[in-house]
Structure formats: C-alpha cells, structure tokens
C-alpha cells in the first residue's frame, strides 16, 4: 500500500449551528496532483482551512507525512512543508520578477533530499541559484528583470507559485490557480503545474474546469454539501452520473 503524504480522517466542522463538513476523509499520495471539486458552499475552502490549521475541526484528524497536525499553528504547519499559496505569497509590484523571489530566499527552509522543486534555499548565492531554477520551471526566466507590475495576471499567478516554491514545500495547496487566467495562458499554467509534479512536487488544488481536471489531475475528490461523494481517477469520477448531476446540474 502506498502511504499518503496527507491523510484527512473523519473531519467535521460547524459554524454555529451550520454543519459545513461531515466526516470528510481523503488521501493525497506523494508526487501526484489531486483536484478538489464541488458546488459553491460545499466546504472546499473550509477543508483547506482545516488542513492548514486556519480553522480547528470539531472532530477527526489531519496527518501530514505521518505526523498529526493537531494543536499546531498555521505557520508551524507551513514550516513542515504543507503550504497554501495565499498564506505567504504577495507579488510586490515595484520589484522585479527576480527580486520578488529573492524576498522569499531569506525565509526559506532547508529540506534534506528534496529535488529542485522541493529543495533548500538560503539567502545569497544559494537563493539566487534556486530563484533562477524556479523562474525557469515557471517559464518566467525571460522576464526576470521586468517589474512585476508589468506582468499579465496569469504571469503573476505563476510568480506567486514560484515564490511559494522558494520555501521548499512538500505539498502545495492551490485555491483555483486558473481563476481569472485567460484561456491561452491556462494551458501554460497546466503545463507548468505538470512540470512541478515531474520534479516530485505534490499538489492539492480546488478547480472547477472539467477539461483542466482531466488534463492535470491523477485523482479527483468531489465534495458535495460537506461530504465526499466520490473520489478516484478523473475519468471515472467526472463521468459518474451522480457527480454530473450534483456538480454539473445534469
């Protein structure tokens, strides 16, 4: 049996009297891309909040790399390598693309045995080497000396992902990485995310676009009204008539 990098078991969460998550369990295997889909209000953001410890769950447990996250603060979770983009990223418009990465070099953590997408970076020369490598992976090397303010929205998204990669995550949580990106660039973002997987990164992302889910994900988990209603290979899950009815309104 393949051990999962992230394991969510029996998670429940209510806000006041409103039960938002009911007994949610899922596994994310290392080195894969897992898509999380579900109608508006089905609990996707709340699940991300619980996983990253922005919210406490009322019941259940989240385990990362074999260790329970109970009781940890969000920054301590991030330090273990479980990182969500909005937590830490901010594109500074008046800095160059390269400078935007180097800002993150100083706070980067070392992770022994990581590949280029999950390795270590300090300040100085090491941080610069890593920044160049990540700009290359994200297709931004040619823009390294441009001001970030001049980037397209999609390029800024790629820069945000590169910033967070400076921190050496082991699992990256992305909330709708394609949102607002024009269709031409969406293909590029898909390719860049796949390139990260090739380098050993593990991704869990909220995504609504069905063709994107088919192209990108190894596994899709469907959340409906706070419960996992399906999970498995994209081809199986996204063609399931129950899923199509709940999610696509068919």
Ligand X SMILES: Nc1ncnc2c1ncn2[C@@H]1O[C@H](COP(=O)(O)OP(=O)(O)OP(=O)(O)O)[C@@H](O)[C@H]1O
* Interaction site with ligand X (CB under 6 A): 15, 18, 20, 38, 40-46
Tell me whether residue 118 or residue 220 sits nearer to ligand X (CB atom): 220
Place of tokens 């991030």: 78
> Helix crossing, 183-198 with 153-165: angle to 10°?
20
Tell me whether residue 20 or residue 78 sits nearer to ligand X (CB atom): 20
Tell me whether residue 48 or residue 104 sits nearer to ligand X (CB atom): 48
Helices (H), the chain: 44-51, 74-79, 85-88, 97-102, 124-137, 153-165, 183-198, 210-216, 234-239, 241-248
Cα(53)–Cα(210) distance, integer angstroms: 29
Closest separation between CB of residue 20 and ligand X, Å?
A: 4
Closest separation between CB of residue 18 and ligand X, Å?
A: 6
Tell me whether residue 133 or residue 207 sits nearer to ligand X (CB atom): 207
- Rounded to a whole number of angstroms, the CA Rg of the chain reads 18
How many Å separate Cα 28 from the centre of its chain?
Answer: 11
Tell me whether residue 21 or residue 166 sits nearer to ligand X (CB atom): 21
Tell me whether residue 39 or residue 139 sits nearer to ligand X (CB atom): 39
What six digits make up the tokens of 47? 């699940």
Closest separation between CB of residue 138 and ligand X, Å?
A: 25
Closest separation between CB of residue 233 and ligand X, Å?
A: 22
Closest separation between CB of residue 93 and ligand X, Å?
A: 26
With H, G, I as helix, E, B as strand and everything else as coil, classify residue 40: coil
Closest separation between CB of residue 56 and ligand X, Å?
A: 12
Cα(157)–Cα(44) distance, integer angstroms: 20
């Amino acid at each position: 049996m393949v051990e999962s990098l992230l394991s969510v078991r029996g998670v429940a969460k209510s806000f006041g009297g409103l039960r938002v998550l009911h007994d949610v369990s899922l596994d994310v295997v290392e080195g894969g891309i897992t898509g999380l889909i579900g109608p508006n209000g089905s609990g996707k953001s709340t699940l991300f909040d619980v996983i990253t410890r922005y919210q406490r769950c009322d019941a259940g447990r989240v385990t990362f790399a074999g260790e329970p996250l109970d009781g940890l603060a969000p920054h301590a979770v991030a330090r273990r390598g479980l990182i969500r983009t909005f937590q830490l990223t901010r594109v500074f418009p008046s800095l160059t693309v390269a400078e935007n990465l180097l800002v993150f070099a100083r706070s980067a953590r070392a992770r022994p045995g990581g590949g280029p997408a999950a390795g270590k970076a300090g300040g100085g020369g090491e941080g610069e080497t890593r920044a160049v490598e990540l700009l290359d992976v994200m297709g931004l090397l040619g823009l390294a000396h441009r001001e970030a303010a001049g980037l397209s929205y999609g390029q800024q998204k790629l820069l945000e992902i590169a910033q967070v990669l400076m921190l050496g995550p082991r699992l990256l949580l992305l909330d709708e990485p394609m949102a607002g990106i024009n269709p031409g660039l969406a293909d590029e973002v898909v390719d860049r995310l796949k390139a990260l997987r090739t380098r050993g990164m593990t991704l869990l992302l909220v995504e609504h676009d069905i063709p994107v889910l088919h192209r990108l994900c190894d596994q899709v988990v469907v959340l409906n009204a706070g419960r996992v209603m399906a999970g498995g290979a994209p081809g199986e899950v996204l063609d399931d008539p129950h899923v199509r009815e709940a999610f696509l309104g068919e």
